[in-house]
Chain A
Amino acid sequence: MLSADGPAIVGIGEELTRDAGGRSGLELQAGAVRAAVADAGLSLADVDAVYALPPYSDAHSMFALTLAEHLGVRGSAAVTVDAGGTVSPITMLLQAALAIRHGAHGTAVCVFGEAARTGRRHTGTGWTLGAAMGTEEFEEPFGAVGFVVPYALLASRYLHEYGATRSAFAAVAMSARQHAALHPLALMRDRPMTAHDYDDAPMVSDPLCLLDCSVIADGAGAVVVCAADQARDLVHPPVTLAGIGTSVTHKNVNQLPPLSALGMREAADKAYRGSGLTAGDIDVALVHDAFTVSTLLTVEGLGLCGAGEGADYAREGGLDLGGPCPVNPHGGLLSQGHLGGILHLTEAVVQLRGTAGPRQVPGARVAAVAGNGAVFGTCGVLLLSGADR
């Protein structure tokens, strides 16, 4: 299904800002698609399929079709995908690659973006949504409102089950912040963080403080996917899909399984089995880090360390550039900015091209993109492989 001679990523587009100047999520996504197509050395006339996740803050029916029309794309498919969190970009890529492989359509773009920071339709604290969440009847009336509270409940389980302390969360936050200093678009690039800063940060939903939470951003990211025979002739060395695994266990936090039964390990095992790769083959990992506890659970799920060992792994520098497998060298959702994980995917491509500049992981050949949606209710692991350089 997936192989070195399968469909490949040949172009990327990225935009990240504190203020998109009134542009809508639709317009931001359109901009990222144009940038990705140009990066590949193609034109919009070459795009035959559009895969898009609608802006969360601005509910929109038939979003991908609207985006295709906005772009002037006439082709074979416009598919709206909402698999959950970072699993959405991974799923878009999988569906596009399968469809290309089977001849259902030609070159595709996969895109997400929104004006989450400035474009919210109503005032409020936290990242608000335009659509129903399924938490209206049995969670929100009890004060479990928004995203931080469910993750705080998960974090309380992490500290309890593994006997960890918040110093593990601090290590994750500081690693992401150090990496963000090396990315020109990172929203927190000029905001270094010390352990003292972490300890002084206001509590949001105990045990999560402000610096355990990701940074809300405006922007978008897109990738171009095409068949292998076309990919070879384009501007950049192609990045191929080596393996994908996904899992589904629950949606709402009231159905949260024990940490040992979260689906990240299952998703990783599927990706490893399909690709013949192992955790030891991963040179750089881009993991969904909406909250610091997410990073710990995800590096454990990937098998970079054992279950419950993420705290020591993070404190001992396991996440850092220079370590055995740097995690989120772009700063991640925590310090680069939260665009749903699409910039994890584009950063993986940049790393495998070898063009990440001061944050480049030397000789990176295999990247893992791992994420979840809905408090680890659905998990996804994508393994990408770069060309020989």
Chain B
Amino acid sequence: MSGTAPQRMAGKPVPEPSVTSRPFWEGCAAGELRLPRCRACDGVHFYPRSACPACGGTDLDWVRSAGTGTVYATTVVHRSFWGDAWADDVPYNVAMIELDEGVRMVSAVVGVPADQVHIGMRVGVTFVPRGDTHLPFFERR
């Protein structure tokens, strides 16, 4: 068995930054939500990758997101999938957040009961430590 799946079983997964994504995670540790920006078309995108998905440009830098947005889709998860890492959290929220810069990311709204999260709710980023990194979750605004 090649390695990825069993490692998922040991606690909640911790992202393993790539060369491309490392500035994003360094930003989270510094309390900044950073988005990749393409210098050619001036568009931001998410998730980080080696080229702009809008125009193919490879001259990329990072901009700081305001960290605010709106819940685009939401679910209350009642099971811990692929092991028991989430067993103590159920029922927990997972949401897609549409940032005010226009990109969407998968995260969760924390600090309110999972079933009170609704599409259209205004949220702001909050960074939660896990392992050696910080994850961008969201709180109600």
Q: Which residues of A come within 8 Å of B, CB atoms?
A: 59, 121-126, 128-132, 136-146, 148-149, 152-157, 160, 202-208, 252-256
Assembled-state Cα–Cα distance A142/B93 (Å): 9
CB–CB A141/B75 < 8 A: no
B interface residue count range (under 10 / 10 to 19 / 20 to 34 / 35 or more): 35 or more
Q: A138-B105, A141-B12 are in contact. Are A205 and B73 (CB under 8 A)?
A: no
CB–CB B130/A138 < 8 A: no
What 4 A-B pairs have minimum CB-CB distances, sorted nearest first?
A146-B81, A152-B75, A206-B76, A153-B73
Assembled-state Cα–Cα distance A253/B105 (Å): 9
CB–CB A132/B4 < 8 A: yes
Residues of A within 8 A of B106 (CB): 138-139, 142, 144, 153, 252-254
CB–CB A130/B1 < 8 A: yes
Q: Which residues of B come within 8 Å of A, CB atoms?
A: 1-2, 4-6, 8-9, 12-18, 21, 46-47, 72-83, 85-86, 89, 91-96, 104-108, 115, 119, 130, 135, 137
Known: A145-B86, A149-B81. 4 other contacts (CB 8 A): A122-B1, A125-B80, A205-B79, A256-B104
Residues of A within 8 A of B72 (CB): 157
CB–CB B5/A121 < 8 A: yes
CB–CB A203/B94 < 8 A: no
Residues of A within 8 A of B115 (CB): 206
CB–CB B74/A205 < 8 A: no
Residues of A within 8 A of B79 (CB): 125-126, 148, 204-205
Q: A153-B96, A203-B76 are in contact. Are A128 and B82 (CB under 8 A)?
A: yes
A41 to chain B, nearest CB (A): 40
Q: A152-B75, A254-B104 are in contact. Are A141 and B2 (CB under 8 A)?
A: no
